[in-house]
Structure 1
């Protein structure tokens, strides 16, 4: 069991899932307040970093807060401890609590917020709604003795390499003869110092996404028996998966009114706002967590029957209504779905440590319904 991890270790785990490169350039992701090097014993996951959340973290003995919405989104011109944000920062510093934000990068990431929402809705055959790019792909090649080819093969897959569509463990393997001569100071797994060794090896080739490349190489080095494993990394012209925010796909045909009821039940909402004919049957659904009214026309271009998002204003809702696209405004707070999902991810990553992960119980939705 690992006895001690720093904040930077947790940041690395988050960025393996949601690389900072996926964030929009206007966003503020990563460390917000605190230290890279502080030790971690307890983590709390929250949607927002409000004073009540920080008070909860203090009471629970939390060292690190992982948030979706950045605490420091707009530049601070003065640090006034009488203002709400100033009080929050003061408390964080007094209690040595670090804050880290994963925002639009977690929105866009595979398995991120928009996939969480899509999973909750049962969205099938989904694709990216607002495509920003395609992930870069690399070919990772290693030369492995026969005795460890299965270990390296499995290590590749566990690191996320060799995944193509609905297939895993994808490699191409060719047999050959490896040669090397261990020199003074070496500690060879096979052979003796100052003697040329000939070894039956397998050349193992696999494909890996840029975001998983570092992890794949680390897993290779851990699984490979050689003191100095040989490996090649080759950039590919092949296009990887589309990267972007929002998702669009299909659900079983359902009345719009029944879909509204399903959304209220799924996300624990007392009411939602909707445009369109409630008796119509909908099948193709677009979803974007947070404020998505700027992408109404994109949802229509994807032939969506209904677009689920938050923070829709009157005239934009009216425009959607007139173009024949139903809009369900489920509010911004449905993004709270990230709390349990992020805890689950971190629990898996930290299973061999004593670090605990909790979810904030504070309701940070500013709206009440009366």
Structure 2
């Protein structure tokens, strides 16, 4: 399914016999699903804009808090936008409306739409980004690639597991390609097309800092995003019997897969608590690339 073709809503409309939660109530549910303690030290997660007493009737999930995503959420009547990537990860000296980040903040506040970030805590948690990627690729016996310092044994960055049946690298890469939303960059692969893979390591988002863990896990292939030239080249040089092979995917596409699962999870927690809320997934493709040229095309 392409990102633009995603269903606008992944949860039923609010029930008449239940009350809408406040933003404070939603934050409690978010903490239950994706504890802030799982976030990396450098990260910026949690509430970015909004009043705790604000009533939340409609929530939209998205990967990036781009201006287009923000405006789309507002047009859809969202009271809360939850994005995977932070808007204010790096320090800013101004939120003037004529700047991108300031403009997004002004749009949100002026339209009474709160903003919450679930980033590396959403990566590490059970059912997080890498868990979803591992599940979609059919991995079994899944465990964290780098276990969380504080958390459950199942929590941590990345996942490693095994395919029920070994596949040729080319066939496995095709499975990866078919599972992702359609974006310009496609999928890049390093390794023997006919090489056999069984143990698979995955990391949603940029994972080229995890090569030591991938090698320790003896993964046949590593699926992640944003593989830079030097780390990828060095990983290939350090390969043992040509492993791990590399499958480089779109950062946006790999993390978009988590959104419907996250939306359903938050909906279920809130409904179990007696609240009525509508939760959807943004259909905006915020991948930064528009087209790609390849030899012969």
TM-score normalised according to structure 2 size: 0.86
Q: What 5-or-longer segments of structure 2 have no aligned partner? A: 1-16, 293-297
The 8 Å contact of residues 18 and 106 in structure 1, kept in 2 or not, is answered as yes
Choose from 162, 168, 172 the match for 1:259: 172
- CA change 1:263–1:242 in 2 (3 A) is closer
Report whether the alignment pairs 1:287 with 2:206: no
**Equivalent residue runs for 1:62-211 within 5 Å:** 62-133=78-149, 135=151
Report whether the alignment pairs 1:326 with 2:245: yes
The 8 Å contact of residues 263 and 269 in structure 1, kept in 2 or not, is answered as no
Q: What 5-or-longer segments of structure 1 have no aligned partner? A: 136-239
The 8 Å contact of residues 221 and 247 in structure 2, kept in 1 or not, is answered as yes
Larger relative CO (CA 8 A, sep 6+): 1 or 2? 2
Q: What CA deviation, in whole Å up to 9, does each residue of 1:100-144 have, x standing for no partner?
A: 111111100011111111100111011110123253xxxxxxxxx
Aligned to 1:43, the other structure's residue is in SS state strand
Counterpart for residue 219 of structure 2: 304
**Distance in 1 separating the partners of 2:92 and 2:230:** 32
Q: What CA deviation, in whole Å up to 9, does each residue of 1:74-114 have, x standing for no partner?
A: 11111221111111111111111100111111100011111
Counterpart for residue 39 of structure 1: 55
**Distance in 2 separating the partners of 1:13 and 1:320:** 40
Q: What CA deviation, in whole Å up to 9, does each residue of 1:249-273 have, x standing for no partner?
A: 1012000001111111011346211
Choose from 154, 160, 167 the match for 1:248: 160
Counterpart for residue 7 of structure 1: 23
The alpha-carbon deviation at position 353 of structure 1 amounts to 3.3
Choose from 22, 25, 28 the match for 2:38: 22
CA RMSD, aligned part only?
1.4
Q: Which has the higher strand share?
A: 1
Question: How many residues end up aligned between the 2 structures?
Answer: 266
**Distance in 1 separating the partners of 2:99 and 2:288:** 18
The alpha-carbon deviation at position 300 of structure 1 amounts to 1.1
The 8 Å contact of residues 47 and 338 in structure 1, kept in 2 or not, is answered as no
Q: What CA deviation, in whole Å up to 9, does each residue of 1:51-75 have, x standing for no partner?
A: 1111111111111111111111111
Choose from 49, 53, 57 the match for 2:65: 49
**Distance in 1 separating the partners of 2:133 and 2:192:** 23
The 8 Å contact of residues 134 and 242 in structure 1, kept in 2 or not, is answered as no
Larger radius of gyration: 1
Q: Which runs of 4+ in 1 moved over 2 A?
A: 132-135, 268-271, 349-354
The 8 Å contact of residues 224 and 247 in structure 2, kept in 1 or not, is answered as yes
**Distance in 2 separating the partners of 1:51 and 1:364:** 10
TM-score normalised according to structure 1 size: 0.69
